[in-house]
Structure 1
Amino acid sequence: MFFESQQFDTRLKKPFGWSDNVFRYCDFAHINAEGGDVDSVFVSCTFEKCDWYWGIFNLAVFVQVKFTNCTFRGTAFSGSKFIECEFVDCEFTLDNLNSECSFEDVVWYGCIQKNCKGLAIQNTSNGSTWR
C-alpha cells in the first residue's frame, strides 16, 4: 500500500501495518510499538517521540528520514538502508534481557547524528559515510 502526506499519531491506521508499504512525506509521532516486523520503504518522513521495543527492521529502507527523540530498545536493523537520514536526541538502548540494538549488514550513507546514545560510529564498519 502507498501512503503519502499522512499523519500517524500513536499508531498506524488499521488494518495496515509496517510491512510491504511505502510511506512518502508522512509524519509519525508518539508511536509505541512492541515487537513486529518493519520492512517498508520510508521517503522524506519524520519520526518524533516514537518508542520501539524489540522491533525488527529487516531490509527496511529509509531515505531522507528524520528521527527526533526516538527510543529503540533491543531493536534489530538487519540489512536496512539509511540514506541521508538524521538522528537527533535518539537512544538505542538495552532491552529487558540486556540485549543491545543490532546493526548487522546495515548501510549508512550521508547520515547525521546529533546527541544520540548507543548509535556509535563503530557500528558502521562497512565504510559508510556520516556527516
Structure 2
Amino acid sequence: MDFNFFMNDVVQQARKDMQSAGYQELLSPEEVDEALKADGTTLVMINSVCGCAGGIARPAAAYMANYDKKPDRLVTVFAGQDKEATARAREYFTGYAPSSPSFALLKDGEIKMMVERFEIEGHEPIQVVQKLEQAFDEYCK
C-alpha cells in the first residue's frame, strides 16, 4: 500500500468530517484573520490526522454544531496540512502552546478558552463536549 495515498485518504476524510458538521475550512492566513478578527464568537477546531482527532475531537466538534447555544462561526484549520493557516490561527491563542487536535473559543478576536490535546487524548468525547458546553454557555448567545 502506498503510504502517501493512504494519508491523502485519511486527510480528505478528516476534512469531509468537519465540512459535513458545518465547519468552514480556513486555508490561508487571510481567511484566518477574517474569521478570527470578526465581531462575535468563533470556535476554531485545530484538526489533525491522529486517532484522538478522529475518535474524540471531530465527533465532539460535530456534536457541538447542534448545541443550543453556539458561536457565530464554526471554523477549522488543519495542522500539518494547511501550515500557514494553522500558524496564523495559533497566533491568536496567546498563552497556549501549539496543540492538535484542540479547540479555541474566541470572542471579538480574543481567546476566551482552549481545550488542548492533553484534555482530548485519553478522554471520552463526552468529556470534551462538556468543556465546550461550559464555554458556549458562558460566551455564546
Q: Which TM bucket (shorter chain)?
A: under 0.3
- Report the TM-score, using the length of structure 2 for normalisation: 0.24
Structure possessing the higher relative contact order (Cα contacts under 8 Å, 6 or more residues apart): 2
Q: Which has the higher helix share?
A: 2
Normalised to the residue count of structure 1, the TM-score between the two structures is 0.25
- The structure where strand makes up a greater share of residues is 1
